[in-house]
Amino acid sequence: MITEAAHSPTIIYLSGLLILPLGLAILNGYRTWTADWRVIITILGWLLVIGGAIRIVLPQLTATLASTLYSTSAALTVFAVVMLVLGGYLSFEGYRLSIGEQTAERIGSATPAEHYRHSIMAILLP
């Protein structure tokens, strides 16, 4: 299926039209250049913007590059493993931060009513 899509400049152009706004949305909502794991999200946003623009401007070149790259199953396997590891790492870091904030909030609350008030305020005022 990927090799069929790689031979069609129209599908590549349309995928560029979908990927470019996704990258712009990530950069609009989250653009941080810090020296920790969160910079990966910013880099992924920029990669989506650049990849979407290249697919829109040069779909024929992208088709030839994709057909060459995906001609072997090893390339797909390597790509899948890298995405799995990256997704697992980002999920781990994101949930670790969330759980740490919840624990700190519980410890800092003097009463259950105060904890409830902090939870409601966190929902209403993000």
Tens-digit pLDDT profile for residues 21-57: 999 999 998 888 888 888 999 999 999 999 999 999 9
Q: List, in sequence order, the alpha helices (H) in 9-58.
A: 9-29, 39-57
Which tens digits make up the pLDDT trace of 107-119?
554 555 565 566 6
Q: Cα–chain-centroid distance for residue 35?
A: 18
Which tens digits make up the pLDDT trace of 5-22?
677 888 899 999 999 999
CA 114/CA 112 separation, integer angstroms: 5
Does position 64 have pLDDT exceeding 80, yes or no?
A: yes
pLDDT at 95 (0 to 100): 81
pLDDT at 9 (0 to 100): 84
pLDDT at 120 (0 to 100): 61
